[in-house]
Chain A
Amino acid sequence: MTSVGMRSRWWLYLVLTVALLVVITPFIWMVLGSFKTNAELRQIPPTWWPQNPTLDNFRQLFSRLSFGTYFTNSTIVAVVVTAGNLLFCSMVGYALAMLRFRGKKFVFALILGTLMIPGVVTFVPLFVLVANLGLVDTLPGLFLPFLVGPFGVFLMRQFVLGLPKDLVEAARIDGAGEFRIFFQVILPLLTPALATLGILTFLGSWNNFLWPLVVAQTNDTYTLPVALALYSTGQNEQQYGLLMAGATIVVLPVLAVFLIFQRRFIQGIATTGIK
């Protein structure tokens, strides 16, 4: 760390504080806006604090626009995707790092190779596949393609490589089977890596937009971002209050998750360098 003098330090705080306010203003304005009426949101000049705070926007989202369903869909998809990634990626990560089996190098090369392929390439055939499986407009269609990912395997493998191999040897000598070793000895030790991968996967799934936009086609399967995007561009564009409240509903849960786990999360970003 470079130390700076008192005077420049004062300036630094001022600049950082102004920058911070600029960065978080949209969120403050969004949350405050969700308690305003349409008329107030259309007012010129805009108001800062709601004049007559109302919960009407939120009430309408859930009673008239089935945001409850979208919220449930988003949650189910994010939880299933996260659980799948944690289980399958840790299994492969462990196998690649600790066990000897034929084809191991090939599997690892395959996974590393696909890390570099952008999602846009597989998008079209993936949709055709899901359509042929009859999974369009179903929740499995939303989560199945994301149950595993190369990034999760890579992260887990790197973490397992740092664990002592003697641990596995000792468990074998005690007569534990290979699966028991994985679930009872290794998995508990993977908690920090599982937490990082879990948060990254959950947030990624919750905020995912393009895939659900294509696969979810009716009210029953829309996720929150899809519903908000479709609602905000149709003839409902003028429903400012509802849009602010909808945006708040989409953002607040992840903000909460983030604030609770932020230390681990930021550590994960810093060590992996992947968002």
Chain B
Amino acid sequence: MSLVTGSRRRDPQGTRDATRSRSSRAPGAAREERAGWLLTLPFLLLFAVFTAWPVIQSVFFSVTDITNRDLRTPFQVNFVAVEQYAKAFGDPVFRQAALNTAYFVLIGVPLTMTVALAAAVALNTGITRFRAVYRLGFYTPVITSIVAVAVVWRFLLHPDSGLVNTVLSWVGIDGPNWLGSTTWAMPSLIAMATWRNFGTAMIIFLAGLQSVPQQLHEAAAIDGANAWQRFRNVTVPILRPTILFVSVTTAIGYLQFFEEPFVMTQGGPLNSTISASMYTYQQFSYGNYGYAAALSYLIFLVIAIVTAVQFRFLSDKED
């Protein structure tokens, strides 16, 4: 598909279009102008109502004391400036949620990317048979409903009748009560999230790996580089843009971690798995709309900072 290259070949503004004669330009241009707007209008209307307006309103909400009691009159509320934001910093549960989210990101992102890259490299090493089967199988968790998957994993991780502890008992390990323990609940959720998400990163890595020139590998091999050195010094530098892209999208995903703790642990035990997004949702469901809006902007701010930092460290240094 030429989705990427297309933009370079074509002239998007059509300014170099010479086929059109001068005489037909004026009425044609008016027609084009009208058609352009008519085609864009339905989108713009829906977009304005359901995206642009809520974005603007969310800023407004976050500096007011709006709650669900003000639902009918969302503009007759008190301006409280940064009070909602300040509240977040003094809120012990939010601090816990922020720490947990950092834990999800710091362990989850490297783990997911390592597993994805390992799978992609393994599938790219010249095995020819069943390649499509492996690829499909590894990708399956991505497309399934997180809720269904979470329900199944709750049973797999059950301390007594769960498959995970049964398998562990074969090798003499007495498995813990995974989701019921403040120590193990978090690793359980991260393991499950890695299982569910690495497929997306794997597919993107696979596409990236296919653009690594074979000659470079051969040249490095002739110079005496072993497999690890070739991977480290040939593959990784060429993959850098792909690694950047995957790390940014994976981090954004983990920063908004919601469904896994919601369905599997409800944030427990003792708030040990509550995430920032889940806490935001909780505050929303209690009716604290202003506070929830402020919390969502704090998450957005962190996402923006993390993305900027990743671009700084991972983008090509020669540029």
Say yes or no: B10 contacts A161, CB within 8 Å. yes
Name which of A15, A92, A214 has the most chain B CB atoms within 10 A of its CB. Answer: A92
With A124-B284, A126-B54, A159-B6 already in contact, the answer to whether A20 and B39 are too (CB < 8 A) is no
B77 CB → nearest A CB, Å: 11
Complex Cα gap A128–B75 (Å): 12
B28-47: CB near A (< 8 Å → 1, else 0) gives 11011111111110111011
Q: 8 Å CB contacts to A: which residues of B104-155?
A: 119, 122-127, 129-130, 133-155
Closest B residue to A24 by CB, please name it: B137
B216 CB → nearest A CB, Å: 11
Q: B207 within 8 Å of A by Cβ? A: yes
Q: B286 within 8 Å of A by Cβ? A: no
Say yes or no: B3 contacts A128, CB within 8 Å. no
Complex Cα gap A19–B119 (Å): 9
Interface of A is mostly: helix
Q: 8 Å CB contacts to A: which residues of B239-284?
A: 245-246, 249, 252, 256, 258-259, 262-263, 266, 277, 280-281, 284
Q: B318 within 8 Å of A by Cβ? A: no
Q: A29 within 8 Å of B by Cβ? A: yes
Closest A residue to B121 by CB, please name it: A2
Complex Cα gap A251–B148 (Å): 7
Interface of B is mostly: helix
Closest A residue to B283 by CB, please name it: A124
Complex Cα gap A186–B110 (Å): 43
Q: 8 Å CB contacts to A: which residues of B14-38?
A: 14, 17, 19-20, 28-29, 31-38
Please list 16 pairs of residues, one from A and one from B, whose beta carbons are closer than 8 Å in the complex, sorted by A's number: A23-B140, A23-B195, A25-B163, A29-B156, A30-B148, A44-B161, A94-B39, A121-B299, A144-B46, A150-B51, A159-B3, A207-B144, A210-B259, A246-B148, A247-B148, A259-B136
Say yes or no: B140 contacts A27, CB within 8 Å. yes
Segment from A51-59, A61-69, A227-235 that makes contact with B = A227-235
Total residues of chain A contacting the partner, CB 8 A: 116
Q: A215 within 8 Å of B by Cβ? A: no
Query: Which residues in A have their C-beta under 8 angstroms from that of B89?
Result: none
Q: A189 within 8 Å of B by Cβ? A: no
Closest A residue to B28 by CB, please name it: A172
Query: Which residues in B have their C-beta under 8 angstroms from that of A71?
Result: none
Say yes or no: B5 contacts A162, CB within 8 Å. yes
Closest B residue to A169 by CB, please name it: B19
Query: Which residues in B have their C-beta under 8 angstroms from that of A193?
Result: 1, 3
Closest B residue to A203 by CB, please name it: B143
Query: Which residues in A have their C-beta under 8 angstroms from that of B160?
Result: 44
Say yes or no: A3 contacts B3, CB within 8 Å. no
**A-B contacts besides A225-B148, A273-B249, 19 pairs, CB < 8 Å:** A2-B227, A3-B125, A23-B138, A120-B256, A121-B299, A124-B292, A158-B6, A162-B3, A162-B5, A162-B9, A178-B32, A207-B143, A229-B150, A246-B148, A255-B144, A258-B143, A259-B136, A270-B206, A271-B1
Query: Which residues in A have their C-beta under 8 angstroms from that of B228?
Result: none
With A101-B36, A101-B37, A271-B3 already in contact, the answer to whether A122 and B203 are too (CB < 8 A) is no
Say yes or no: A104 contacts B36, CB within 8 Å. yes
Say yes or no: A12 contacts B127, CB within 8 Å. yes
Q: A216 within 8 Å of B by Cβ? A: no
Query: Which residues in A have their C-beta under 8 angstroms from that of B195?
Result: 23, 26
Say yes or no: B9 contacts A15, CB within 8 Å. no
Q: A72 within 8 Å of B by Cβ? A: no
Segment from B55-63, B92-100, B173-181, B309-317 that makes contact with A = B55-63
B211-233: CB near A (< 8 Å → 1, else 0) gives 00010010000000001001000
Query: Which residues in B have their C-beta under 8 angstroms from that of A24?
Result: 137, 140
Complex Cα gap A258–B49 (Å): 32
Say yes or no: B28 contacts A99, CB within 8 Å. no
Complex Cα gap A125–B284 (Å): 10
Query: Which residues in B have their C-beta under 8 angstroms from that of A99?
Result: 32-33, 35-36, 39
A1-28: CB near B (< 8 Å → 1, else 0) gives 1111000010011011001100111110
Q: B74 within 8 Å of A by Cβ? A: yes
Q: A83 within 8 Å of B by Cβ? A: no
Query: Which residues in B have their C-beta under 8 angstroms from that of A207?
Result: 143-146
Say yes or no: B74 contacts A240, CB within 8 Å. no
Q: 8 Å CB contacts to A: which residues of B43-91?
A: 43-44, 46-47, 49-55, 57-58, 61, 71-72, 74
Q: A139 within 8 Å of B by Cβ? A: no
Closest A residue to B227 by CB, please name it: A2
A243-275: CB near B (< 8 Å → 1, else 0) gives 110111011001100110010011101111111
Complex Cα gap A270–B123 (Å): 15
Q: A218 within 8 Å of B by Cβ? A: no
Those 3 A-B pairs whose CB atoms lie nearest each other, nearest first? A101-B36, A162-B6, A178-B35
Query: Which residues in B have their C-beta under 8 angstroms from that of A145?
Result: 50
